[in-house]
Amino acid sequence: MQSIRNIAIIAHVDHGKTTLVDKIIHASKIFRENQQFEDLILDNNDLERERGITILSKNVSVRYQDIKINIIDTPGHADFGGEVERVLKMADGVILLVDAFEGPMPQTRFVLGKALELGLTPIVVVNKVDKENCRPDEVQEAVFELMFNLDATEEQLEFHTLYGSAKNNWMGPDWKNPTDSIIPLLDAIVKYIPEPKIEEGSTQMQITSLDYSNFVGRIAIGRVKRGKIIEGQQYSLCKADGSTKRIKVKEVHVFEGLGRNRVTEVQPGDICAITGIEGFDIGDTVADLEKPEPLPRITIDEPTMNMLFTINNSPFFGKEGKFVTSRHLRDRLMKETEKNLALRVEPTDSEDKFLVYGRGILHLSVLIETMRREGYEIQVGQPQVLYKTINGEKHEPIETLVVDVPDTAAGKVIELATQRKGELLVMEPKGDLQHLEFKIPSRGLIGLRNNVLTATQGEAIMNHRFSAYEPFKGVIPGRVNGSLISMEGGACTAYAIDKLQDRGFFFVDPGEELYAGQVIGEHSRDNDIVVNVQKGKQLTNMRASGSDTNTKIAPARKFSLEEAMEYIQKDEYLEVTPKSIRMRKIHLNENERNKAAKMQDA
């Protein structure tokens, strides 16, 4: 039987995790000598490259000294925490990668905590020791302290440390004496990471992630815990409700290099992908046909928020995108549910509107951003949390919010959370940080992350988990200012904006093309007003000194996609196209808006 090591790589955003995997792949000679390739091989999605975050975990494998090493690249972002926890179940050890100057950072803490809880063996790699002002020895001590604070076991605290520079392609036990290759890291993996424990018994494989192919449909990925998975054989699929159904495995693939190889059978301890099975969910167990024994289930957080997705029907429709019809939108959303686990799509009474349910703002915004890059034009409504009526009373989703924050900023975080009906349950020191736990309504989380990060200079680590439905907590104050709305279509002028600056601030620059009903700024008061920003200056052939003073305009406020999603009101849509993000009123005509407002009041 072949010897295997399963290892996950943990690191804070931008500490060089994906670069390190690149170098391991090069060291194991997967590419032919003359083959061309890019850097950051694993962040193969544009959105991941730009944001510098890994959103989806990925599997690759390399061979070293006849040992197969399966490497799992994990998302470092707490928002994709569900993804991380599932993926760590496939590993026996972790490589913790830290920057030799910055040391262990907030995001690292969350994923490392999960890995230590699961009993995984850590190897610490202090990266970027070629940087100026780096302090590798202090960073190594900081990692030890962090692990101690996270209640690591004695064995975990005796971790092996390597120093190096992934960019310059070397690793070694001493940072003052650079080696000439990355091989010492591979030696350490072979020596310190345990082989998968092989248990006796009937076949068991838990599905921990999935992929989708246009040719074969959904592909189940997981680690074989016991027994073997053999191509063409029949097994039982153990579902969440305790039922089992008979399935036949069509093809079995193992990870080899950057791709997959088709094999006839997979040995226990290896990670594989199976095609041909229908109707499976994450957490289901592929088990023996005669006596199926399910593994304990992995929980997937249920959606707590929905947004209305509809086709773009603004006056600028079809100018920038190529997929604009309701058929395009429906097909794309249905395709997404095949591989995006926490997402649900429901049709509404209108053919061109769909309710999309997701885990939160970032989860939904990644979908919207991906769609706009593919050439879709869509409009989305204000994010809404999901209410339930239980015993005739309105209940709303409550989440457990965990914030780890430096001592000095704890007060600000408590204040921000309690303003949004958060209830402080736990406040205790956790090593060098204050550990805060709140019960907070899901709708209180909309816009909270930005405020907390601003108040704590980006040092807070926020993580939230759906807890339960509880009685409605009352009104949470939202945006208090009204909108400035464009009166007519056309390009706005600097002259008109200058004259209206005392009314509020603008989101548009002079010369930008607008349409009637577009939200172009924030009013300084709480009501909406319609303004004419297309009006030019009346020109005469008379000149007077002093009357032609230059206009001085405050710069337009620009929103990111997430900020715009959190900003819009109930009666507004966000128009998203491949090139633009615009806010608009649902009813572009002022009379229709007034009529709709009266009907709502009645």
Extract the annotated binding site for GTP. Answer: 14-19, 127-130
CA 302 to chain centre: 15
CA 214 to chain centre: 24
**How many Cβ atoms from other residues are within 10 Å of residue 122's Cβ?**
24
CA 467 to chain centre: 20
According to DSSP, the β-strands at 393-406 and 461-471 are antiparallel
Residues annotated within the binding site are: 14-19, 127-130
Q: Which amino acid is at 281?
A: D
CB 434 within 8 A of CB 460: no
Tokens describing residue 593: 């808006």
CA 14 to chain centre: 15
d(CA 336, CA 356): 11
Q: Which amino acid is at 31?
A: F
Q: Is 21 exposed, middle or buried (0-12, 13-18, 19+ CB in 10 A)?
A: buried
d(CA 31, CA 25): 8
Q: Which amino acid is at 471?
A: P
Q: Give 316's strand partners.
A: none
Q: Of how many residues is the chain composed?
A: 602
CB 374 within 8 A of CB 413: no
Tokens describing residue 573: 């849509």
Name, in order, each residue with C-beta under 8 angstroms of 208's C-beta and a sequence gap of 6 or more.
86, 87, 89, 90, 221, 222, 223, 282, 298
Closest by CA position to 124, among listed 100, 105, 97, 106: 97
In DSSP notation, 423-465 reads EEEEEEEETTEEEEEEEEEGGGGTTHHHHHHHHTTT--EEEEE
Q: Give 94's strand partners.
A: 8, 122
Place of tokens 């406020």: 557
**Residues 404, 407, 408, 414: is their CA dihedral positive or negative?**
positive
Closest by CA position to 187, among listed 171, 169, 165, 166: 171
d(CA 591, CA 589): 6
> What 3-state class would DSSP assign to 563?
helix
d(CA 125, CA 14): 14
DSSP-derived secondary structure letter, 69: E
DSSP H helices, 295-403, are: 326-339, 361-373
Q: In whole angstroms, how far apart are CA 68 and each of 17, 22, 71, 179, 311?
A: 20, 17, 10, 24, 48
CB 267 within 8 A of CB 224: yes
d(CA 578, CA 366): 14
